Structure 1
Amino acid sequence: MPGYDYKFLEKLRRKFLCPLCGKAMREPVQVSTCGHRFCDTCLQEFLSEGVFKCPEDQLPLDYAKIYPDRDLETQVMSLTIRCIHSEEGCRWSGQLKQLQAHLNICAFNVIPCPNRCSTKLIRRDLPEHMQHDCPKRKVRCEFCGTDFTGEAYEEHQGCCPQESVYCENKCGARMMRRVLSQHSLVECPKRTQPCPYCNKEFVFDTIQSHQYQCPRFPTPCPNQCGVSSIAREDLSSHIKESCNSALVLCPFKDSGCKHRGPKITMSRHLEETMRVHLSMMSSLVSRQRQEILELRKQVEELSVSSEGVLIWKISDYSRKVQEAKVRGNYESFSPPFYTHKYGYKLQVSAFLNGNGSGEGSYLSVYIRVLPGEYDNLLEWPFSYRVTFSLLDQSDPSLSKPQNITETFNPDPNWKNFQKPGGSRNSLDESTLGFGYPKFISNEDIRKRNYVRDNAIFLRASVEIPQKIIA
């Protein structure tokens, strides 16, 4: 709007207000024919619309009779106003005509930076801007003395070659930046440097101690075999595999040969002592065979049950029955078992095609006492009840199993229940244990599921009083 829109300290009288804009008149003009006054700009805008009448009384207007009202303008310019920045904090007040002079010094007035940096700011912030923020300000580097604009100085900071800085490797040295690169590459004790042997990076002042342990550091063969440069980590392999001067043991050391000499002479030793080595190997094989037999015996003893119960599975039953028919009186033996820990050693035998009175049509079952490890600690003769069972393999959820069971008490006068005196490998009738030649007929075996998946299960158990077990 063309009129003055400032904060006047007193309420304006009507004669100071432009009828068109409602504000204090700016460059007032008077229509001489009717005496009405308007802002010059407001009246020009009104007449530009093609209406040549006074806005107040609608009487015809003549440009020649419109004159500037100097007296009214003087009165308006003498009115008292506040600074246009009063809301920002300026406390100035004065005549309207003094406003421009005040704005030229007002601390709250927005002005452009005199360095033409495109920044506009209030006058009171100008010194701070000129000193610290203006990219066009003049700044002198304190290290090299060169003058820069503020913008160029920001780029120069941190890279001035004359600035004193500490070594980036934290060695403690301080120098001008222009010599820092040379120091870091050549002089700094904390610079990194590759080991010339393993190529790993190390701090310079530790690389010498590293070389005492470097796996690729060249070392001569301690056996003086002629190889002068071997990587430290390869030295052991060289001595073991390649060095002809290394002392080695004879390949027949395990068989008793004590010879030790340089690797290069070992082939001659082997040729000269071939007969001796052969004899040593024969002795070693004999010893090892005996050890294997003893170990096998120990394994068998460890695998023997010691709970007084044996469940013996006879697999491939049909073939073994046919074999028993062909061979006649063919006896099958169970694994041995103990009646209890540190107890009697027993074994069950079976004639699948019968023995004695049951031969040809029965399954015969016997038990006998074997020489055991603890026989000298036990009471003799063996006198504890023994039970044989042929186990029914029928599904218990479908029918109750009907095991074939026989029990007997050993006759203390019978010789086979006396303390064993040696091994019993003879199949003579006199060496049979006690049992049942007609335990179950071959016909009855087929009636239920005593044979299943071509296998039968025989169970032997010994009743030992609890006090003996304890």
Structure 2
Amino acid sequence: MPSETGGYECKFVVAPHDRYICKICLHPCRNAYLSGCCGHNFCKSCLDNFKRTSAVCPFCRNEDFATLPNKQADREITREITSFHVMCTNKEKGCDWQGELNDINNHLRDCDGCQFEDMECFNLCGETLQRRCLTSHVETECPDRIVQCPLCHLASRQWFITGIHQEQCPKLPMSCPNRCSVKKIAREDMETHRKECPLEMVQC
């Protein structure tokens, strides 16, 4: 997801003119402000951060930079920048979307948006996958997806059902330890069976 501070680091279809470029981060301005000395544009966040450590204009080197008032650039500049066409930030992964800068966050965030955007698994298993692979992972691969035990129908995390629970399931079919003719006995019924099993050893 694009950063919300500094200039826009998107890949523009046509490179913006120099007058739109922040003279600190060298990207098209986000919330452009005009310096009070040389009249060049800076991102508001870049300007605020720079003034904390320097009193000299980063472009014209005016030493009164920190005390001169800055004014927000004409809103027309902001409208122009955000109307420029950009490529999806996931272009190198295969996304061929192009649209206005205004729309890129919607493209990346919408559930029907960029299928190449990295997303965390909804089940919080720790996996990060591209949106196009997420449904398959959540439904058939994620170890934290909810599944039912096919024997007792307990619903829990897949890793628990196929691991710990499988060793404890009361409905798990087992063989009689006496090797009698009864082949499959539910774990929960084993104690009762052994009391009735004709091959069970008993004391006289």
Identify the TM-score tier after normalising by the shorter chain. 0.7 to 0.9
Which of 38, 47, 54 aligns to 2:57? It is: 54
TM-score by length of 2: 0.74
2:9 aligned residue: 5
Deviation of 1:172 after TM superposition, in Å, equals 8.2
Q: What amino acid is aligned across from residue 58 of structure 1 in structure 2?
A: R
Report 1:458-469 matches (<5 A). Answer: none
Which of 74, 94, 107 is the matching residue for 2:99? 94
In the alignment, the residues of structure 1 paired with residue 94 and residue 105 of structure 2 have an alpha-carbon distance, to the nearest angstrom, of 18
- The structure 2 residue matched to 1:154, chosen from 150, 159, 162, is 162
Aligned pair 1:35/2:44, yes or no?
Answer: no
Deviation at 1:54, TM superposition (A): 3.3
Partner of 1:429: none
- Could you tell me how far apart the structure 1 residues matched to 2:143 and 2:83 are? 42
Provide the residue aligned with 2:26 in structure 1: 22
Give how far 1:35 is off: 2.3
SS of residue paired to 1:38:
strand
Specify the SS of the correspondent of 1:46: helix
Q: Report the 3-state secondary structure (helix = DSSP H, G, I; strand = E; otherwise coil) of the residue aligned with 1:97.
A: helix
**Aligned partner (choices 64, 76, 85) of residue 80 of structure 1:** 85
Deviation at 1:102, TM superposition (A): 0.9
Q: Deviations over 1:43-99 (max 9, x none)?
A: 223222231x43333343366731222221221111111111111122222111111
CA distance in 1, matches of 2:23, 2:122: 41
Aligned CA distance change for structure 1 residues 64 and 58 (closer, same or farther; 3 Å): closer
Residue correspondence of structure 1 range 274-423 to structure 2 within 5 A: none
In structure 1, the gaps of 5 or more residues are 194-470
Residue 126 of structure 1: aligned partner: 134
Shift of 1:127: 1.9
The structure 1 residue matched to 2:184, chosen from 166, 175, 179, is: 175
CA distance in 2, matches of 1:75, 1:97: 10
Amino acid at match of 1:139: V
Greater relative CO, 1 or 2 (CA 8 Å, sep 6+):
2
| Equivalenced residues, count | 188
Over the residues paired in the alignment, what is the CA RMSD in angstroms? 3.2
Does the 8 A contact of 2:51 with 2:66 survive in 1? no
SS at match of 2:12: coil
Choose which of 45, 50, 53 in structure 1 pairs with 2:49. Answer: 45
1:44–1:180 Cα change, 3 Å: same
Quick check: 2:85–2:101 contact (8 Å CA) kept in 1?
yes
Residues 19 and 73 of structure 1: is their aligned pair in 2 closer, same or farther, counting only changes over 3 Å? Answer: same
Q: Secondary structure at the match of 2:169?
A: coil
Percent identity of equivalent pairs = 28
- Could you say which structure has the larger radius of gyration? 1
- Report the alpha carbon displacement of residue 165 of structure 1 after superposing the two structures with TM: 5.6
**Residue identity in the other structure for 2:33:** V
